[in-house]
Structure formats: C-alpha cells, structure tokens
Structure 1
Amino acid sequence: MKYTLDEHKAKKIVSGRELLESVGITGKIKPETVQQLSESAKGKGNRKLIVQMEAIHVGRTANYTFYTEDGLKEGLDSWTHPYNKPVLTHHNSHAGEPVGRILRAEYTESTISGRKGLIFTCEITDPTAVEKVLDGRYSTVSIGATTDKVTCNICGTDRTKEWCEHWRGEEYEGQTCHYIVGTTFGREVSYVNVPADENAGNFSVSIDDGNDGDTAESALQIFQIAEGLMQNIQLPEVNLYESATDDIRQLVDGLMNFKEGSNENMDEDPENTNQTPVQESVLQTQLNEANERVTKLEKSLSEAQATLSNLVIEKTKVDSQLVESQGEVERLTTENADLIEQAHKALAEKVVDMKLSLRKSDVVGVTPEEAVAEHVKRTTESLNDAVKDLQAEMQNTSAQRGTVQSPGAAGEDNNPNSPQQQEGSKTNMTVAEATNMFKGMFGSKRNR
C-alpha cells in the first residue's frame, strides 16, 4: 500500500502523552521494539548502547528508605564527579566489573512513571550486557549510594550519630518506620532483578555501532515516538511527532495502524489476515510467562523479607548482649586499674618505711606523706629493686650491730628508780664498742 502525502496530512497530530495512551504503552520498552533493535544491530562490531533510565524517585522504596527532593538534588554532581560512576550488576562493586558508565545525571519533575526523580544517561559497552539490555533481561535498576544523614521518622534520631530502637518496616503505634536519607552521594547504579524502587529502569535504548550515518538515530526516534517516549524527559510538552520528518511520520503512522488493526490494510493484503491473531497469541503467552515469573519473584521476596526480619531480631539480641558485655569489661578494667594503683602506692609506702628505719637522707626532714608522694612517681620495677637493696642493707646492719644491757653504774644516771633503769633500756652499739667497754671495766678492777 502506498502512503500519500494527502493521507498523511489528514491524520490527527497527537502529543507524546496522547500517543502513549492510544497505543496502550505503560512506559516500558515493548518486546517488539527490543527485537527490532536487536535485528538492526546484528553483524555490527564495536557497538555500544546509550541507555536512559529512571534511577531513583522521591519517596519511600520497598526497603523503607525515603529519598527527599533536596537530598537527590544536593548529591546530583556526585554521580559524574570527580569521575563517572559505574554501571554494575547486582551491586557487586568489589568482585564485579562495570558494564558501563553514567554519562549524565539529571533531576526532573516529570518522568514516564509520573514521579519526581533522577534520570541517568548511561553508556553500556560490555558485549554481554549489551545483549541482555536489548533482549530485556537487564531492564530494572537500583542505585548504590552513601549519605550524610539518616533520620528515623518515628523519633527523629539521626542514626549516623545515635542509636534508636526503631526498625525499618516495623509499626509503632500505627505508624510504619522508615529512614529518611539526607544528601545522596552516588557510588554506582546496578541492574537488579527486583528493585526497591518499582519504577526504576530503562526507558530508552539506542545503538551506537560506530558508523557516521543517521540510520540508528532515525530508528531510535521512530521507536521513541511510537511508544510515547520523550527524548527530553524534562520537556514532555514537546510534540516529537510534529517535529519529525515525513519519512519518520509515515513509519509511525504505519505502526499505529497496525496496532489498531486497520481493516483496509488487511483487505488489500490477504496474506496478512492471520498476522494480528498470531502476534496476539505470542504476546499473550509471553505475558503469562512474565506473570508466572513475577509470582515466583514475589514469593521469593516475601521469604527474603521474613528471613530479614528474623535476622533483624537476632541482631537486636546480639547488640544488646554486646552492650552488656562492653559495660562489664569497662567496669572490670576500672577496678583493675584501681587495684594496680593501690598496690603501687603500698609498695612506695613500704620503701619509705624501710628508708626511715635506716635514716636515709631523702626521707629525713620531710613528712611521710611527701616522701610517699615522691616515691609513687617511680616505676613498680624501680620500687621492687629498692626494696631488695634496702632489705640487704638492713640485714648487713643487723649483723654488724649487737644489743648490750646498760650497766647500772655506767652512765650519767645511776638512779635505779629512773625510767631508763626501770625499763631496762638498751643501747645499740657495735661489737668493737662493747668489747672496749668490758675491757675498761674489768681492767680497772685488776689494777686496784
């Protein structure tokens, strides 16, 4: 069938949103588009993909993390500075290798899903990843990021600085707990099977095969327009259909007529009579398979959430026991330090007492308290050495000295009733002194 210019002019001009509704598109890339993109790329080397994706949106995700508009805007530059953050798979930032890089990050008030959030333009260069993006296996994404603040919506505690007893997903007096993220500093974006943000995923894919021609770009425009996808997400009012070339409009009109099941086309081409039912059957089969996969994934997600809840409970118990253990360790450490200090002071007092008994110069003329305070400054090893030296000195002194009873007639006080005589006072003298004294006493008697 030949498509004339008059027929084209007679057609109604529709906006991107009207076109989206007319063909029943939900904002995801259709399987037929993926197939045509894949076919157009076969046999072309060094190809890469330019993928646009809705990466994260303002609001609460399935893992009870709440992203704010200010937080996403303030961390926007971090996705491409100081370097372009990687595109990974399953958040494997350690052992995995990037399949591409984020070329541009934008915050937008309007997306295909109708929610505020971040739009990433990414370059996918890994050959395996290119195939999986084109056949639809890599379609949903999840961001990996850090933040400067995490606020509990129940009590307002900043959990980066303090601990609170509220857990994400748990209800407290009828209110579900979630954590409000501060500035979102980008680290990576990953293709995942089940994203926490259900609207996060690819919405536009183009193939760059290294050629200078505009065939791929034209094909991309066709599919974007036919599926209601905006090239500039921030300007949804732009009518791409109206600004397209006549050739592209013809192709778009053909796609729309096919979607509507034009009887005129079917009558003029009898061979295509069964084409629509066959394709509908294939699509229905694919839809049923997709629903089964979704059911299995939902079941797996429920089991994972139950397991996570149990782990959270166990972690709470372990954390409580750890806090108690740390308190006991601190108490015992304090007590041990006190005992060590007391033992050290007792050792210093012992050294001072021994020095006082030996009339050492460093303790004579000062108070015992001052002498002890000065000796406490010494190390335990030094004090132990001093005790050993003083004990040895005291033993030597005892060996060299003797104890002699003072004679009644000797000395200046001969009164037997004096206190000195009544108490039988003793005078310590050396052996030599005692010998000389006895010689003097007995010598005097012999000379009489």
Structure 2
Amino acid sequence: MTQEDPNYGFDTLQIHAGARPDPATGARQVPIYQTTAYVFRDAEHAAALFNLQEVGYIYSRLTNPTVAALQERVAVLEGGAGAVCCSSGHAAQIMALFPLMAPGRNVVVSTRLYGGSITQFSQTIKRFGWSATFVDFDDLDAVEAAIDDDTRAVFCESIANPGGYITDLDAISAIADKAGLPLIVDNTSATPYLCRPIEHGATLVVHSMTKYLTGNGTVTGGVVVDSGKFDWSASDKFPSLSAPEPAYHGLKFHETFGPLAFTFHGIAIGLRDLGMTLNPQAAHYTLMGIETLSLRMDRHVENAMKIAAWLETHDAVEAVTYAGLPSSRYNDRVARICPKGAGGLFTVALKGGYESCIKFVDALEIFSHVANLGDTRSLVIHSASTTHRQLSEEQQVAAGAAPNVVRISIGIEDANDLIADLDQALNKAK
C-alpha cells in the first residue's frame, strides 16, 4: 500500500501504509530486521546500489526494511513524496537543514518553539557557520523583512510547544514561496491527523516521533518528510540538490531523482555522513504506535478541550493558552489549520507565580512530571525551570514559557479523574 492509494481513509492508512506480509514467512506485522548489513546478489548488484542506480539495502546506517516501512507510512499520512527517519526530533531538524545550509547562511525561525529547538538554532548551529533569525510569526511583515539573500529556509511549528499556539501556515508559506525558499514545519504536536502542513504549502515536515506518533513514551525517533513539490533547481541557492555531487561522480540529485531528490539526498549523504540512524526496534515501536494515532488524538483533543475549559474558570488560574477555547486569539485558526482539533498541549499561567507552579507540579498525583509530551499518560512540566531554563526570561516569555507558566500534555485517561487531580494540586499551590 502506497501513497498511490488515494481512496483509503486515514484510519486505514495508519495501519496498512508501508506494511506488507513478510514475503519469506508471511508474518503480518512488520518484522524487526535486526541486522547490520545485507548480502548482495553479486558484485554488479553491489556496485549498482552504491552508485544509486538501484534501490535496495546496503548497511543499516543508511537503510533498513523496518525503518523503510515506517518512512513510507509517515510519508503517506503526511501526503509527502518520501521520508527519512533518524534518531530523534533534534536530529530531524539538522537533517532537514543539512542539504540547504552552508557557512554564512541563515534560517528564519519562529520565536514560539520548543526550548531545545531555540537553543539548537540560536547556539548549536553556529558551530556549522549557520545562523538563525528569530521572529514573531504572527507579525507577517517582520517575517518577510527578516529574509535576506543568505536565507535558505523558514522554520516554524504547526502547534507550538509549549503554548499550543497555531501558526498561520498558509500566510507563512506564501511568504516563503515569494522568496523562493522552502518552509519547514515541525508537526510534532499536531501529527498528520490534526494538521497536514504540506497541504498548507510546507516543503518539508519534521517530527519528533518520540511524542504522539509513538504515543507510549518508549523510544526516541525523528523523521523528515519531503513534499516533493519544491523546485531545487530554480535558483543556485541549493547546490547540494541541484549541482553535481562529487561523491557520486557528478550526479545531480534533483535532475536524477526529481520529487524524491531531498529524500535520496537525506539517505545517501545525510545518513551516510551524519549517521543519525533510527534503530529498527524503535521503528517497530513507532509503527505499532501509529496504528492507533487517530483514536488517541481524538481522545487527547476531547480531554484537552474539557480540561482547558474547566481550568479557565479556576480561581488559581490566570490564563489558559489552549487554542480550542473560544477565548484564544488563535481559535479562528483551528478550523482552517487543525480541523480535527487543537491538540492536547497547552500552558496554564498561575496567579501565584513561580513558587505556585513548583508547588502545583509537586502536588499532582496522576500527572507525571517528565520532560516529554504526547504520551497516553498526562504529563506536566514547569518549562522555565527545566526545558526552557537555558533561555533568558525575555526568551521564555516570547516562547510561551514564562516563570508563572506550567506546560500540560493531556493524556487519554478519564477526564474527570484528571480534573480532580488538577483541582487538589491547584488548591495546595495557592
């Protein structure tokens, strides 16, 4: 089953896409191909594989049948041409930028990002000679003004972590298109069930599969999905994809592979040289998790809406950022960008400030205090003292992680039990 099956619904594709009975054994579930290397038919076959003249398996740093099944499934669900899996969400972000950037080049990014992403873009990528310009993506004029001759990509999150803010992807993609640049969208918090960024103009979609796609907090993993729609040869800005590649005797990826140019480059160059490989057991767990993605996301959304509305009425709460609430300034974007719901992630600002947040987190019983989101279990964290601790207070506020704010990831438990737990913890935190 491939993306050439347009008549299948999401619920069918999340189970069947990329999965076929094992030809050797008839096994119905995708096997874990726990192997390092693969036997070539003969010397000619080996040469063809290494020369990118034939698709197949060489070495599990590059390709693995279990991982390949996952890549196909995520690509189908996102409506992309292909996908490359890697070891984490952070790895996926570097993998997405790697073919696009060069020393002296920059990427324009949203101020509303996961704290670790802000650090990666503001600090770590400087070691490659790259830089990032941070802009409030609600200010479209500022986004356009931030793009210069050295800009090579625009980056944002569909539903931003931690605040649950929804980005106007249509408006941002129009700006990127006008500048001849790819738009990269982190779709971790929304998943392709709630939002399909490619339909809103995204060139590349990245995920931390660690979160909702796997859904059970067992493994880390990332993926880059290629829309296959960007013309990498329209300018000289992307020589990795449009110019001759010395490592493959002058092969031009875009000319040779067309819509799959970015995907092939991600495997043949990215995984080959960066080595950010996803192991097959992690791929297997994620494949199993995706089988129930739509069921889980419906419950995440249902619970989040009920709990956010209740929290908004609590006398210890100053504000709730859930975009599904009528009071949210982003509520009008839900039907257009995330028509099946605003996700299960949001923040709560407490009237008691920093100290109340700490007491609140410590008093919770059902909610797990962990540095993760998107689990079946409800999770909580005080971002300013943990995931966003490395940022200045000004950066924390811009990212939606001010000192008086707690991030809540709503799970799929009984909503009334979660409300009772939140209520007792808020009362203790006053």
TM-score normalised by the shorter chain: which range applies?
under 0.3
Normalising by structure 2, report the TM-score: 0.24
Normalised TM-score (structure 1):
0.24
Of Structure 1 and Structure 2, which has the larger fraction of its residues in strand? Answer: 1
Larger radius of gyration: 1
Structure with bigger helix share is 1
